[in-house]
Amino acid sequence: MIKSLNSKIFRSSYNQFAIGTPTFARSLSSTPIFRTISKMANIHTPIPSLKLNDGNSIPMLSYGTGTAWYKQGDESKIDRTLVDSIKTAISLGYYHLDGAEVYKTEQELGMAIQESGVERSKLYVVTKVMTNVKDIEGAIQTSLKKLQTDHVDLYDFVPILS
């Protein structure tokens, strides 16, 4: 059971959970209490992986950069708080990292991966593209450049709901 003080647990798209509200999560991440909680959360409990039929494995919990971190406006402005948040997640064992071009956070995800010091082969990186994109090959190349990697482990096509 997940308990939290003075906050709500909300469910974002893709069945990810976050504590608080997007505004609360963004403002909390830069506070001393967040850093203290992050240290306390480092209990060295490995995140289980799901083994696939082809022999590959996917960590069952991911750290997502949507919902609370979604950027509205200038995508080129780097959100250092997000980069640091992703690096903290990686240091806590969240090796399944979830992004999407529509979140406008791929640059921060790429920077965090580079700065984390964790080998790329240990990470499971996901990004997504909306199905209305006409040039899928161009979209993945753009994402790879922003993510500063030569591949992603899962490239998801997200349908547009009307």
Active site positions, annotated: 103
Listed residue (78, 91, 90, 83) closest to 112, CA to CA = 83
CB 113 within 8 A of CB 125: yes
- The DSSP secondary structure of 98-138, one letter per residue, reads E--GGGT-HHHHHHHHHHH---GGG-EEEEEEETT-S-HHH
The β-bridge relationship of strands 154-158 and 96-98 is unpaired
